Structure 1
Amino acid sequence: MKKRVWRSGLMANQGFNFQKEHPGIALCGLDCYACPRYHTIGSSRCPGCAGKYFSEKHPSCGFISCAFKHGRLESCGLCPEIDTCNRITRLKTVIKDQPGYPSYQNRIANLIKIKGTGFEAFADTCIHKEALLKTLIDKYNDGRKKAFYCRAVQLLPLPDLENLLDENAKKGYKSVDDAALAVSNSLKELANKLGIEVC
């Protein structure tokens, strides 16, 4: 009996320190790359799902422990048991009652994409979107736009975002405030045109 308890404890400890290659894409489908705390500088920064020092910032996560046991998965969307998983079933129920930040609403849709097209294709889009988000935060943020940019990048299509930033890169804004106002207005106009709510 003692031997089984020790092995279970060892497995839990190893899962607790499990680090994903892509912490910006959470096991449960959250878009960590598009979260303001993921792009915060300082001690309050979140390292993303199973990122470096994740266990020091957050309590233990059942998704992380489970992914470790299933072969150190990068996403629950890759798990052969996803369609019968109790955690995913509970997640579907919770999502119905969680209005607000889009990352919570998109989790199941993200997992379905990963299951259908594979993790690499999904990750490629996320990596490109994160690069655009960093450009928005570095060049077009007046100190009040980070959360808005995170929502916009998460919800708007990648090609449209790329075109919008390419166009704005050609404009000579006089100040960061002018740039932030112009780009945020452009993002709102794009969202309205596509029927997507980003505010």
Structure 2
Amino acid sequence: MKNFSRTNLIFSLCGLNCGLCPMKLGGYCPGCGGGAGNQTCGIARCSLKHDHVEYCFLCPEYPCSRYSNIDPYDSFLTHQGQLRDIERAREIGIEAYNNQLSKRIQILEQLLSDYDDGRSKTFYCLAMNLLPLPEIEILLERTIHEIAFIDLPVKEKCRQITGQFKELAQEQGILLKLRKKGS
């Protein structure tokens, strides 16, 4: 969008974790305000009308009607934690939130580098977006330690890790699946 740019390309102005998006990871999207990106984003247009606010929560009208029924469906990235995440960033401050998000991105990159069977990117992105970070860290430390010295094919390591994430998600009451329109 012309004249729309931002410095933080891992966390969008509306609360999406762009740094955990398969499209951004694959180099197909620069992130919110990082270039061509989503040219039709109504929230970006709204930001331009409201003195280029960097995050919606900085706008004097937040939360506005745009948040009353925000994205009931997902795009390439889950929108399920969008309100929770923008409120968390508002509560703890953007620097602290970005630090937590950067940890999630680092874990995601490790998973994709060492434990991806070629079909797990979206699943791992969902897990990193929706599951609590402390539980993710504990789960991975335990699981990676268990399989570190076993000579398993990547596909089997991936199966074990995704199985652990599914169990954790079930315990937390979280569905690790994109919500598509018409599903």
Range of TM-score over shorter length:
0.7 to 0.9
In structure 1, distance between residues paired with 2:92 and 2:110:
27
Matches within 5 A, 1:36-51: 36-41=22-27, 45-51=28-34
* 1:163 corresponds to 2:141: no
Q: Which amino acid aligns with 2:25?
A: H
User: Does the 8 Å contact 1:29/1:110 carry over to 2?
Assistant: yes
Normalised by the length of structure 2, the TM-score is 0.81
Please give the per-residue CA displacement for 1:74-97, whole angstroms capped at 9, x wherever unaligned.
Answer: 3112223314x4xxx1342343xx
Share of identical aligned residues, percent? 32
Unpaired runs of 5+ in structure 2? 178-183
What is aligned with 2:165? 187
- Structure-2 separation of matches of 1:110 and 1:189: 23
Q: Which runs of structure 1 show a deviation greater than 6 angstroms over 4 or more consecutive aligned residues?
A: none
Q: 1:93 aligns with which of 47, 62, 69?
A: 69
Q: Which runs of 5+ in 1 are unaligned?
A: 1-11
- Residue 131 of structure 1: how far off its partner (Å): 0.8
What is the distance in 2 between the residues matched to 1:58 and 1:114? Answer: 22
Are residues 1:67 and 2:67 paired? no
Higher relative contact order (CA 8 A, sep 6+): 2
- 1:151 paired residue number: 126
Does residue 29 of structure 1 match 2:15? yes
Q: Are 2:46 and 1:76 aligned? A: no
The aligned counterpart of 2:180 is none
- Structure 1 residue identity aligned to 2:143: N
Q: Which amino acid is the alignment partner of residue 185 of structure 1?
A: G
Q: State whether residues 78 and 118 of structure 1, in contact with CA within 8 Å, keep that contact through their aligned partners in structure 2.
A: no
1:58 and 2:38 aligned? yes
What is the Cα-based RMSD across aligned positions, in Å?
A: 2.4
Q: Deviations over 1:10-58 (max 9, x none)?
A: xx84x23x2x2221111111121221111115xxx1111112xx22x43
Structure showing the higher helix proportion among its residues? 1
Distance 1:128 1:71 in 2: 31
Q: 2: CA distance between counterparts of 1:169 and 1:99? A: 33
How many residues matched?
Answer: 173
What's the counterpart of residue 102 of structure 2? Answer: 127
Alpha-carbon distance in 2 for matches of 1:79, 1:118: 15
